[in-house]
Every structure is written in structure tokens, then in C-alpha cells.
Amino acid sequence: MPRTTQLSVAMENKPGQLAKIGSALARAKVNIEAISVVDSAEVGVVRLVTSSSAKASAALKRAGMAAVQQPVLVVKLPNEPGALAKAAAKLAAAKVNIAYAYGSAAGRGAMSTIVMAVSDIAKAARALR
């Protein structure tokens, strides 16, 4: 299981904020590999997995945005019914908590990519082998 670094950026909930993040990363030639945006009335939290967390963090800092780094697990699952349930059951059996997860799939036959923040990355990686 690939482990990677996720960046979280708290942004004011107003037009243009996601464009600001995207532009900063584009200028640094950093690709967004996974993204989640969770909002509240005043603030949104953008979680990103990128092609280079170091370059992304530096680019965001240059653009006046602070990014918090967190280790996460990137899980590839078959894009079929029950795949997430099976993976989550393996983590539960290993007593690994999933704090949150987000992901996507490209279409039928493609693999789903799920980003997970878990209580124990090493134990989760072993459970999902």
C-alpha cells in the first residue's frame, strides 16, 4: 500500500479559493492526484494528494496559504460493488480506525483510488495486503 503525504489547506468559503490553490499548483507544475473539499459556513478544508507534496507545500506557501501535512494511505480497489466494504472490514478486523476517506474511479474496469487517514498506517497496510 502506498503511503503518501496529504496537504490540508483551510480557506475562506468564498468564490475563487479553489482556483487560487489550483493556480498555485499549476505554476509549480504540481499535479493534483486526489482532492476533497469539506465546507462549513465560513471555512472550507481542501485536502490534496499531489505529485510532489514538498513542491506543493512550497507553492502554496508562496501564494500565502498554509498547508498542514499528514501521512495517509492510498488504496487501489477494484471499481466494483463491495470492494470498499471488504477493505473496510479488513481494517476493522485489524482494529484500525478510518478517520476519513475520499476517492474516485475513472470508470468501469478501472481501479478506484481511495485516500484514507487511519489510526495506524503500518497496521492498515499489512491488513490490506
* E strand map for 24-66: 32-39, 43-50
pLDDT of residue 42: 86
pLDDT of residue 107: 74
How far is Cα 2 from Cα 11, in angstroms, rounded to an integer? 28
Q: Say if residue 91 is in the same domain as residue 110.
A: yes
Residue 111, CA distances (Å) to 70, 107, 108, 114 in order = 24, 8, 8, 10
pLDDT of residue 123: 97
Give the residue numbers spanning the domain of 55.
Answer: 3-70
Residue 119, CA distances (Å) to 46, 89, 102 in order = 20, 15, 16
Q: Say if residue 51 is in the same domain as residue 77.
A: no
Q: Say if residue 87 is in the same domain as residue 110.
A: yes
pLDDT of residue 108: 76
Q: Say if residue 28 is in the same domain as residue 82.
A: no
The residue among 29, 16, 25 whose CA lies nearest residue 59 is: 25
How far is Cα 85 from Cα 62, in angstroms, rounded to an integer? 40
Q: Say if residue 63 is in the same domain as residue 76.
A: no
Of 24, 53, 70, which one is at a domain's C-terminal end?
70
Q: Say if residue 44 is in the same domain as residue 63.
A: yes
0.85 cut: is pTM over it?
yes
pLDDT of residue 1: 58
The residue among 79, 71, 80, 82 whose CA lies nearest residue 125 is: 71
Q: Say if residue 54 is in the same domain as residue 96.
A: no
CB-count burial class (<10 Å; 0-12, 13-18, 19+) for 32 = middle
Of 70, 86, 101, which one is at a domain's C-terminal end?
70
Q: Say if residue 53 is in the same domain as residue 97.
A: no
Domain CATH for 36: 3.30.2130.10
Domain count, the chain: 2
Q: Say if residue 55 is in the same domain as residue 23.
A: yes
Q: What is the pLDDT along the chain (129 residues), one digit of tens a residue?
A: 589 999 999 999 999 999 999 999 999 999 999 999 998 888 999 999 999 999 999 999 999 999 999 999 999 999 999 999 999 999 999 999 999 999 988 777 789 999 999 999 999 999 999
